Amino acid sequence: EVQLVESGGGLVQPGGSLRLSCAASGFTFSSYWMHWVRQAPGKGLVWVSRINSDGSSTSYADSVKGRFTISRDNAKNTLYLQMNCLRAEDTAVYYCARGGEYSYDAFHIWGQGTMVTVSS
Amino acid sequence: EIVLTQSPGTLSLSPGERATLSCRASQSVSSTYLAWYQQKPGQPPRLLIYGASSRATGIPDRFSGSGSGTDFTLTISRLEPEDFAVYYCQQYGSSPYPFGQGTRLEIK
């Protein structure tokens, strides 16, 4: 079964850091671009970051650029999102999603999400 | 940067009726890279349509997508009770990969 499982969410103070993980299974993880998408409570979907298949290329939404870092370990079939200098407005459910095989594609597979709350 | 605007914000219809949801882009989008997602409360989004008109795996044929350039449409031919949800369009051809703000489809 093709599956993405996020972990690492929780409560963190403003200015703090958190690392999210996304464990992939059921497909050749190393072939696919991967994304992080977030959704603040009661709000819409916001794309956060993307990494290509071998990790050599990344891109970020302006709102997280310089604070968040996306990475992957293809040997462990795991995607990461390192989040630093967290702000209240980063509070959201964070989803990982599978993009295209070596290229652009829609997000066919999504994880269940992990909640990040930034509050003092 | 492309901005996607969905209309209406909320659509109130009854089961059995036809639903037409709109997604308008601030600049031309290749139809190859336009998707529609469905999201129900407490669940992750589910891909319905990619490439503007191709149904994703397991999606019933009452869902259809059309459009080109800056105007795209998701049509649900006959609404089933499980179709009442929030729907998002997305451009995925270049970074960033914006979503529309969503259309809430509610039972009338």
Full pLDDT tens readout for chain B, 108 residues = 899 999 999 999 999 999 999 999 999 998 789 999 999 999 999 999 999 999 999 999 999 999 999 999 999 999 999 999 999 999 998 889 999 999 999 999
Structure-block tokens of residue A27: 């497909």
Structure-block tokens of residue A116: 């990040």
Instruction: Name which of A83, A71, A103, A104 is nearest A38 in CA terms.
Output: A83
CB-nearest partner of B44 from A47, A105, A110: A110
| Phi, psi for B77 (deg, rounded to 5) | -65, -45
Contact B97 A47 (CB under 8 A): yes
Please list every residue in chain A whose beta carbon sits closer than 8 Å to the beta carbon of residue B100: 44
Contact B96 A108 (CB under 8 A): no
Instruction: Name which of A90, A119, A95 is nearest B42 in CA terms.
Output: A95
Do A45 and A37 contact (CB within 8 A), yes or no? Answer: yes
Query: What is the Cα–Cα distance from B34 to B51, expressed in whole angstroms?
Result: 5
Please list every residue in chain A whose beta carbon sits closer than 8 Å to the beta carbon of residue B37: 45, 107
Token pair 């639903």 is found at B19
